[in-house]
Chains A and B, each alone.
Chain A
Amino acid sequence: DGGITQSPKYLFRKEGQNVTLSCEQNLNHDAMYWYRQDPGQGLRLIYYSQIVNDFQKGDIAEGYSVSREKKESFPLTVTSAQKNPTAFYLCASSGQGYNEQFFGPGTRLTVL
């Protein structure tokens, strides 16, 4: 089945550590996205990528980094510079026309 996978489902991090969240899609989509969701709030865009080896900052990119070395993969690193990283992180992708986005199941990151 085609879809988007995110791992791990739950992630715990000590303050000062970098962590990397995985996102893989087998939908052959060109564009991929990372969103952050805080309790009771909507989604905020962190980074997005339209094509391999290219990505752009979203609304809240500070303290995060990404790479897009393969079409299928768009990992997100939460660095120690991110002041309040505890949140639910959602990865999405979109295909031709870029109109509709498909979402993964999410990773819940907790900083201890």
Chain B
Amino acid sequence: GDSVTQMEGPVTLSEEAFLTINCTYTATGYPSLFWYVQYPGEGLQLLLKATKADDKGSNKGFEATYRKETTSFHLEKGSVQVSDSAVYFCALSPLITGANNLFFGTGTRLTVIP
């Protein structure tokens, strides 16, 4: 079945460091891929998405490229800030019509220290 495997955390970085959070997926067909971010005590916010192979999603300095050949959607940011401290979830939406279950990874907690 469809699933997402996400790099386990927690991840602690110094401000301005480079961030990579790995995400790989298993799916039939061509799913849509998402990164969501959750700040403490809040719901999830969509950070970026990609709907087809080789698409690059980007937002707020974060990027992720939909790699079909490696079934990956790694999240990157060149220079993290303290305000980026949050939990990041990789998610997959199968390519079928109708309401879909989003398949989530277990989340990666990022802490950025000044």
Contacts and interface: CB of A to CB of B under 8 A. Distances in A.
Interface residues of B, number: 23
Interface string B22-63: 000000000010101000011111100101000000000000
B93 interface: yes
Contacts, number: 60
B13 interface: no
Contacts of A12: none
Interface string B93-114: 1000111111011110000000
B89 interface: yes
A99 B51 contact: yes
Contact of B43 (A59, A94, A99, A103): A103
Interface string B62-97: 000000000000000000000000000100010001
B32 A50 contact: no
A92 B101 CA distance: 11
B107 A50 contact: no
Interface string A70-112: 0000000000000000000010101000111111111010000
B42 A33 contact: no
Interface residues of A, number: 28
Contacts of B43: 4, 6, 90, 103-106
Given A43-B104, A50-B99, A100 B49 contact: yes
B104 to A, nearest CB: 4
Interface string A42-85: 11010011100000001100000000000000000000000000
A107 to B, nearest CB: 10
Max count, chain B CB within 10 A of own CB: residue among A42, A48, A50, A90:
A42
Interface of B: 32, 34, 36, 41-46, 49, 51, 89, 93, 97-102, 104-107
